[in-house]
């Protein structure tokens, strides 16, 4: 009898562990960068950010579905997703997923698998505390609604053509700046130690997301054009976009260093610093060698290690990038510099 009671007592935790494992599996299948960064976060922030990322990825899948879905279908899916977020329900999530998968919006196996697991993601969302759930829902709905507005601006072939730098920034805010704002609010829920830094962090939150998005746009501009997407306005000199990305990444670096200065947990600092360091390195590579250029896995590992060494030794995280940019040598050869 006591063993049965113990099993029943352990069951909710075991179910949560299994769900967390499945959510992480979906994360790995849909994002290389975030699958590396999110596990560094402490709980319960890690779980909240995982759920939020997967919800944003669902919206992204609809927005990006220009090849397989026409404009009205993409808008309808985004609107349906927004309504589901407004009144979250596992049962309604299951019904929506079945409808979306009748004709999947993507050929990416991970994205299709995520859509199939929409009920699981919503079950995890509903388990979040009221404050965290409200933050995730509010920011995901804002980005979903803005994505739908941008889809309405696509031409008959589903191609979005941004007019100028302001239009590009508005798009980056919709798909990434809001993510930076959401992450900030989730970090601020973790305790009082960041309260004094709240204004500083909020002022830089959207630039954080914008910078990462601009780097991706610059990196992928050649392949995007082949696939019928063009996020770089023809009226804007590419050098202006590089300059804006560098300004944003500087704000993102300041954001990470403020978290570090304020005494945020090491995992939170690493989570924010690593994507920024990867973005700096990618931007340097793309500016030097052109669109499509990427940093290698060896370089990713070296940056990861350098960020963690800086945090462990109490050095500002920006210094990791400075050391790794001294030359074009293999960064592994400099990994032991201290």
pLDDT tens, residue by residue, 67-100: 899 999 999 999 999 999 999 999 999 999 999 9
Residue 320 in domain? no
Q: Peptide bond before 245: cis, by omega within 30 degrees of 0?
A: no
The answer to whether residue 214 is domain-embedded is no
Q: Is the pLDDT reported for residue 316 higher than 60?
A: yes
> Is 172 part of any domain?
no
The CATH number given to whatever domain includes residue 40 is 1.10.600.10
Residue 243 has a CB neighbour count (10 Å cut-off) of: 11
Domain hosting 28: range is: 16-150
Whether residue 56 is contained in a domain is answered as yes
Tell me if 53 is assigned to some domain: yes
Residues in the chain: 338
Confidence of residue 41 (pLDDT cuts 50, 70, 90): very high
User: Measuring CA to CA, which residue among 168, 292, 288, 158 is closest to residue 237?
Assistant: 168
pLDDT tens, residue by residue, 175-213: 999 999 999 999 999 888 999 999 999 999 999 999 999
Residue 59 inside a domain? The answer is yes
- Whether 322 maps to a domain, the answer reads no
pLDDT beyond 90 at 112 = yes
Number of domains in the chain: 1
Which has the higher per-residue pLDDT, 199 or 315? 199
Residue 82, domain member (yes or no): yes
Residue 225 vs residue 306, higher pLDDT: 306
- CA-nearest of 275, 286, 277, 206 to 241 is 286
How confident is the model at residue 42, as a pLDDT? 95
Q: Give the per-residue pLDDT at 126.
A: 97
User: Which tens digit of pLDDT belongs to each residue from 113-159?
Assistant: 999 999 999 999 999 999 999 999 999 999 999 999 999 988 877 77
**Whether residue 325 has pLDDT greater than 70:** no
Residue 17: predicted pLDDT? 82
Most confident of 32-46, 223-237, 256-270: 256-270
């Amino acid at each position: 009898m006591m063993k049965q009671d113990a099993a029943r007592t352990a069951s909710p935790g075991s179910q949560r562990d299994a769900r967390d494992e499945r959510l992480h599996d979906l994360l790995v299948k849909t994002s290389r960068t975030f699958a590396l960064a999110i596990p560094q976060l402490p709980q319960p922030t890690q779980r909240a950010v995982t759920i939020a990322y997967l919800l944003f990825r669902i919206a992204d899948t609809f927005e990006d579905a220009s090849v397989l879905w026409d404009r009205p279908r993409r808008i309808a899916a985004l609107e349906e997703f927004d309504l589901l977020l407004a009144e979250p329900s596992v049962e309604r999530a299951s019904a929506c997923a079945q409808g979306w998968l009748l004709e999947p919006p993507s050929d990416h196996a991970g994205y299709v698998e995520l859509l199939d697991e929409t009920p699981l993601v919503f079950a995890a969302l509903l388990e979040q505390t009221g404050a965290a759930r409200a933050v995730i829902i509010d920011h995901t709905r804002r980005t979903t609604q803005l994505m739908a507005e941008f889809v309405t601006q696509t031409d008959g072939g589903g191609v979005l053509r941004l007019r100028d730098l302001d239009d590009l920034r508005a798009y980056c805010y919709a798909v990434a700046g809001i993510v930076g704002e959401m992450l900030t609010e989730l970090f601020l829920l973790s305790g009082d130690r960041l309260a004094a830094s709240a204004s500083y962090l909020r002022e830089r939150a959207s630039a954080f997301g914008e910078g990462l998005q601009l780097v991706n746009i610059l990196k992928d501009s050649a392949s995007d054009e082949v696939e019928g997407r063009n996020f770089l306005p023809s009226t804007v000199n590419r050098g202006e976009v590089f300059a804006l990305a560098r300004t944003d990444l500087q704000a993102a670096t300041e954001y990470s260093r403020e978290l570090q200065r304020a005494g945020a947990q090491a995992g939170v600092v690493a989570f924010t610093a690593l994507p920024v360091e990867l973005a700096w390195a990618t931007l340097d590579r793309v500016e030097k060698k052109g669109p499509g250029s990427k940093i290698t896995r060896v370089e990713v590992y070296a940056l990861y290690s350098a960020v963690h060494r800086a945090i462990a030794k109490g050095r500002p995280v920006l210094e990791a990038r400075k050391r790794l940019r001294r030359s074009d040598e293999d960064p592994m050869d400099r990994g032991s510099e201290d």
